[in-house]
Structure 1
């Protein structure tokens, strides 16, 4: 069980859950597809030694509601802004994992003044060519099945909406990354499901960007190599790397 209790901000008919932990300069944590803020269990205790951590359950995930408007990164970027405004935060570091990394990109492009430093762990821009086929093909097959089942099951419909975030383009092109002028770090595993070519292309388009590749790591390096991951993140945020 996640050790922290959520607060909520209302966005129309939907409540967005977030966890406000610690003190100091804010650091937002954004989880991946189908997950919730408990993904960061191995990070929060360490990060709160230095930062006020705001971990957000994305719309349709965790303790957050879904609503009737479907799911999109544009909608979730507005949810994140609402959380930050409710917390009185005008500038923050953001760390996003997988779909959370894509959300971090969307938010940083939409509201760049809110973002101090940006960390993208296993994010991508190109939804098809950016992901290895051994991951993408089964995902497309599952999404196709859920697209049929959604007409018969509310549970399937919700799962289909969540999975759709990994299938449909989210309105960001590679050249858009040139507008991310804040210091940025991309973290991937050596055996990540994101193609190396995708990661290198993203880094080449972001003006101030470094790439950290975790040897023998996969997509879930934060969960599987927490000590190294936490140290890498903190050193970057403190400007030591």
Structure 2
């Protein structure tokens, strides 16, 4: 896939696929809902000039197995910790996109000692208030439909569980962000599906945070504006 082959780490009842490329300080990449590490195909070649990149397919996504239990951010946090332990990584920079950004927040709150710098691309804390209605309401409808079809189809049940990550709160409040003290960068597009009010409130609660808004960008700025995105990330990580 996208020129790289994964290794697999056994995390409880599921094998989790991860791509380990490059050398240097570790940089973990976490993709969005319903995607896989292929989303980072325009980032990995550039980032590996400076960092050892660990791109992880979240449980139930890409080449990673779902396991037998319900998908949750708590379970994916545990998976990520096991992957890092298996790789001998005690701390890393973490870049998360969309649901991967939410996972990065949850991981930073659970294991703050394991995160050097945090980059949140299109992440949110609140579901309905944080995401624009024309995006979030169809997600609720699709979740309801796949919940019904999931009684008859394993494929629909898996889709339901993945969509559920975008429907149910993931156990983080705005006040929790006050505990994330490592340097943090929020990247959003000018026309992101994340409400600008949500981004501003998140930045207000994060003690050491800067925000980069990509002009004319939407939610997928890493894919659509890769040169600017990569430069912004690397300059932040290098402290420039």
CA-atom RMSD in angstroms:
0.5
Match in the other structure for 1:213 = 213
Shift, 1:210, TM fit: 0.4
Match in the other structure for 2:5 = 5
Within 1, Cα distance between the matches of 2:159 and 2:13?
A: 20
Runs of 4+ in 1 over 2 A off after TM superposition: none
Shift, 1:68, TM fit: 1.2
Shift, 1:2, TM fit: 1.6
Q: How does 1:44-83 map to 2 (within 5 A)?
A: 44-83=44-83
TM normalised by structure 1 equals: 0.99
Does residue 36 (structure 1) correspond to residue 36 (structure 2)? The answer is yes
Match in the other structure for 1:95 = 95
3-state SS, counterpart of residue 166 of structure 1: helix
Within 2, Cα distance between the matches of 1:122 and 1:90?
A: 26
Within 1, Cα distance between the matches of 2:26 and 2:136?
A: 34
Q: How does 1:150-165 map to 2 (within 5 A)?
A: 150-165=150-165
Question: Which ranges in structure 1 are unaligned for 5 or more consecutive residues?
Answer: none
Shift, 1:200, TM fit: 0.3
Within 2, Cα distance between the matches of 1:215 and 1:127?
A: 24
Shift, 1:13, TM fit: 2.1
Match in the other structure for 1:235 = 235
Within 2, Cα distance between the matches of 1:161 and 1:171?
A: 17
3-state SS, counterpart of residue 211 of structure 1: strand
Match in the other structure for 2:204 = 204
TM normalised by structure 2 equals: 0.99
3-state SS, counterpart of residue 8 of structure 2: strand
Match in the other structure for 1:176 = 176
Within 1, Cα distance between the matches of 2:11 and 2:92?
A: 21
For each residue in 1:91-113, what CA deviation from the matched residue of structure 2 results, as whole angstroms up to 9, or x when unmatched?
10000000000000000000000
